[in-house]
Amino acid sequence: MLKCEQFNKICAALDKCEHYQKFKVYKDKILALGNDSLEKTIAIAVALCLVCAVLVSFSAVALKPLQVNNKELDMKKNILEVAGLLQEGSDIDKAFSDKIEAKIVNLETGDYVEDMNPAEYDQRKAAKDPALSVAIPKDKDIAHIRIKAKYAKVFLVKEAGAIKSIILPINGYGLWSTLYGFLSLDADGQTVQSINFYDQAETPGLGGEVVNPNWRALWKGKKVYAESEQAGSEKGLIEAAEIGEPALALIKGVVDTSKPGSQYQVDGLAGASLTSAGVTNLVRYWMSKEGFAPYLAKVRAVKGVKS
């Protein structure tokens, strides 16, 4: 009954509207024209376009909360996966809130930023905000991203209050696209647990194999920083690293685990040397002093782990 009264009020208001009355007159005029009339064809086409535009706009607005929620859920799923905590059929929101803690890190100092809310911080958007980002010098921009956010959102997996693993956001240019992903490290900030690229547009079957679970499994147990004079890989895609510097790299072909330095090497992507070089560069960039090295050094210092 209430809805009927509201509808009647709307109709009464429209009847008093001068523009609505003019529209009714024009509508009746158009409908009275023959189907082969150019004016009628154009008017109906315009009306259809307006109706479709209204429907699309309404759908976009109405579905936006659902889209945002799905995007957040997918991100949580990727974080849980790279942490080795994703279980089929589990409640992703609950698993994430129970096992993952998000923190904001100042990349320059390596300190946590306590006055920023991790839930509201979007690192990719921040990289486009002049107030929250900084240009990367060309000689240091080996990942070819040009601009980086001043702050990064990291994710910690804790057990009994102690850090079990650290999940770091990484990105860099491959062959055709910028790859966005996560690198999961042990609490020592040195040993790789897993890597996962959730956004990339590399060639399917070649560079696109960065999402292949079999290739990703090759990263487990690899070391990030050179612990001794690394001879470098004879088949390496880039030069060797000095002690304490990022040494992890993809090589051409298959890693020979019997040779020294194999702990810093991952099989390259067959037929995708440029994507492989891109992955090497982005990992080395984000593990360097330009990226998370200051933060990881402080994590190791707190745990008493030798660098």
- What lies within 8 Å, CB to CB, of 268 at 6+ separation is 237, 250, 251, 252, 253, 276
Residues 142 and 172: their CA atoms lie apart, in Å, by 8
Q: What is the pLDDT of residue 302?
A: 77
Contact (Cβ atoms closer than 8 angstroms) between residue 74 and residue 196: no
What is the pLDDT, as a whole number, of residue 235?
A: 46
DSSP state of 196: E
User: CB within 8 A of 70, min separation 6: which ones?
Assistant: none
DSSP 11: H
Q: What is this structure's pTM?
A: 0.78
Q: Name the token pair of 32.
A: 């009275």
What confidence score (pLDDT) does residue 66 get?
Answer: 66
Distance (Å) of CA 82 to CA 9, 10, 76, 222 = 57, 55, 10, 15
Buried-state track 43-56, b at ≥16 Cβ within 10 A, e below 16: beeeeeeeeeeeee
Query: Looking at the chain, how many residues does it have?
Result: 307
pLDDT in tens, the chain (307 residues): 555 677 677 777 767 777 777 777 877 777 778 888 888 788 888 888 888 888 888 777 776 666 667 888 889 999 999 999 988 888 999 999 999 999 999 999 999 999 999 999 999 999 999 999 999 999 999 999 999 999 999 999 988 888 899 999 999 999 999 999 999 999 999 999 999 999 999 999 999 999 999 999 999 999 999 987 654 544 454 567 788 899 999 999 999 998 888 999 999 999 999 999 999 999 999 999 999 999 999 998 876 554 4
| Residue showing tokens 């991100």 | 75
Which pair of tokens denotes residue 82? Answer: 């790279």
